Structure 1
């Protein structure tokens, strides 16, 4: 019989395989239909633009980063090594995938330690599930000398996962204890099902440093877990949750800094996330696609450097000299977002009048 460690490594590899199969290059209609207001005259030149942004007491020279992907098996160790080099060479921050496997099986720790070894001076986020306690969070941070820790909330994934957790009532309390005990900022992150304003308010009340709203539109973990099921599939849950832009609308007025992720494909998608309030943008599927092959690093580095140049171009076009300025730029949200906001009592019209 296969041992538990091998089962967990296989699951990690299955997740990566399914995520690669899901990859699509085009932006979701909601992103396309959300549009900036173009002004022919602005006072911003290309040389005036800075991409630097701040969040949770950290300064990011690049406003987008490698979001949580993987780790724990030989295959994912190689992926993490390439991702860490990509982060180092481009100045991006990087989050690890879930470090749960390293908490249970010490032999998997190298799969995560390689990230800090390859990127000794970069900003790194550790990552654990919300069912872990403050002591486990401390160990995860220490393992990679992390600058912050993501605590992921993935109830929808767990319920579809055949071997997933079935107890969730202690999550918020666990997160609160981690926040109190942590020496580094605590970021709470969805895994692709989005956030509501009610959940954001709950996290604000316990003092988390930032919230990654991670909406639908990117890697679909309900679909991944259904793909791993042999029978009794819950495929009707594969469109569960709020989209990334819907979640950003839910976060309007949040006092806690917001990270946007989930189906972000292009620098224009990133810019729209910033205009809707995000301070930082995370990409997982795009980054995994960039480094999926052993020899893909040179092209991946070139692509990310190009994204930085293209994002600078977009800020210039909008007339924003910084990410904080872009957050005040006029933008008209997609009709589907307007309908959602009307139903939820969220003011969307003021965004177009700024």
Structure 2
């Protein structure tokens, strides 16, 4: 096993070890306005929305986790099987390992065989070229490409990159790739400054990848075995609630995915009320799979669909567009943050 494959195994082991039932996404500081006279039938509620330009039947999906080693491939296969059974999209973890080692390609390629009835996206670091992006899509036969921004992870990672001239790569990929593209963070949140930069080069889909769930700074800190200790930046970045409060000026021309510590259907609904078009879930679904198995994960996904509808009834909303118009209240902490944007 090479160093990239070993790192993938470490990421999953450490992520599960660091998993918390409680999220730190600050969505608990958002209060929704209930409608006690909703005048609505639950059968009227639609969960349809969009993801990377595609119409999808539920507003959440299994987001990028990992892959590329024999052990992580096993998890990916089961996650993909659950996604396909439940008809929700599935995104692979970074496929960079398969571009460096052809022996790792089979696991990613198999994911398309598993996801015949749903959307499949793959994932690549922003330092990759257009040629690599094209190879990534070809290996997976994917419906779109996520490009991740992970400067903080690379800085803390002992063997990480130290050069971050990424914008030209992204522009080249956006201009020449014939599949939809999403830019995503991996746990520190995308700032308004970054959204401005991405908008200027034509990015139409952004996954906020906020602080509050799986934290790759913490993961890489735990992997370190030298005297360089970055524990003091473990909490660097924006929470999901903070990220969502910053997207309003852009929602007319950028579609946002909310991710980072989603734990339950109410988190999903709150994220949609704050302006997201869809929600990505990684760590929570991986935790369910590891601890309870694929059948429990399938039950959880189906339960989420039904309970999102229940919450929408409580809000008097028939669809996602109406959720976007729902009134909400912020804690003093979040209100102060919003007023400083």
Range class of TM-score, shorter chain: over 0.9
Residue 47 (structure 1) aligns with: 43
Give the conservation status (yes or no) of the 8 Å contact 1:77–1:114.
no
Decide which of 267, 270, 278 is 1:269's aligned counterpart: 267
Q: 1:141-187: CA deviations, max 9, x gaps?
A: 1111111100000000000000000001x211111110001111110
TM-score of the two chains, using structure 1 as the length reference: 0.93
Residue 333 (structure 2) aligns with: 336
Give the conservation status (yes or no) of the 8 Å contact 1:127–1:150.
yes
| Secondary structure at the counterpart of residue 195 of structure 1 | coil
Is the counterpart of residue 60 in structure 1 residue 42 in structure 2?
no
Q: How does 1:60-139 map to 2 (within 5 A)?
A: 60-139=56-135
| Secondary structure at the counterpart of residue 132 of structure 2 | helix
Answer 1 or 2: higher relative contact order, Cα 8 Å, separation at least 6: 2
Q: How does 1:1-354 map to 2 (within 5 A)?
A: 6-28=2-24, 30-168=26-164, 170-231=165-226, 232-254=228-250, 255-292=253-290, 296-344=293-341
TM-score of the two chains, using structure 2 as the length reference: 0.97
Q: RMSD between aligned alpha carbons? A: 1.2
Unaligned runs of 5+ in 1: 345-354
Distance 2:94 2:241 in 1: 24
Residue 349 (structure 1) aligns with: none
Distance 2:242 2:307 in 1: 25
* Alpha-carbon shift at residue 29 of structure 1 (Å): 7.0
Give the conservation status (yes or no) of the 8 Å contact 1:36–1:330.
yes
Give the conservation status (yes or no) of the 8 Å contact 2:48–2:58.
yes
Distance 1:314 1:125 in 2: 29
Distance 2:179 2:332 in 1: 40
Distance 1:325 1:30 in 2: 23
Distance 2:130 2:315 in 1: 43
Distance 2:47 2:189 in 1: 26
Distance 1:85 1:29 in 2: 28
Misfit runs of 4+, over 6 Å: none
Unaligned runs of 5+ in 2: none
Distance 1:216 1:202 in 2: 20
* Alpha-carbon shift at residue 91 of structure 1 (Å): 0.9
